[in-house]
Amino acid sequence: MSERDEERIGPQDSIAPGYAQAMKEHGFGWNTLASIRKITCPNCGFMFSLTYGRTIACRGCPQATKSCPKARCAKCDHEFYIQEMPHVGNRYAQRSVADHMSSIEATYNEQVGRKRHR
């Protein structure tokens, strides 16, 4: 893990500090922590993680494996940019998280034999 990742992971995160620290100690990077943090839908107020949103709301969408810069609420289907999430905050971090989530989705689809289209 780089020093930059360590600077971005801290007690101000919306993950319990002990949990975030344990994940850091086991080699998980900032992108993984960013993808499991709880976010609130700006439309309906539903709280979910980016991982949950991609798993439920984006299932089968071809953009989910192409570094999509958006998050989609699993409750109301409202889409918003990952950059709008408070712990991401800029387009470089948005791209990093989007790439990370896309690689996870692509790997999962490959493992279960699913095509990326619905």
What pLDDT sits at residue 56?
A: 86
Residues 6+ apart with CB under 8 A from 70: 63, 79, 80, 81, 82
What pLDDT sits at residue 19?
A: 67
Query: pLDDT digit string (tens) for 8-17?
Result: 444 344 555 6
What pLDDT sits at residue 20?
A: 67
Residues of the chain with pLDDT under 50: 1-13, 118
d(CA 117, CA 88): 28
What pLDDT sits at residue 79?
A: 92
DSSP 31-75: HHHHHHSEEE-TTT--EEEHHHHHHHTSTT-GGGGTT--EEE-TT
Query: pLDDT digit string (tens) for 14-30?
Result: 555 666 677 777 777 77
Show the tokens assigned to 88.
Answer: 């991401």
d(CA 53, CA 72): 6
CB 93 within 8 A of CB 34: yes
**Which of 41, 43, 24 minimizes the C-alpha distance to 33?**
24
What pLDDT sits at residue 41?
A: 93
Domain ranges of the chain: 3-112
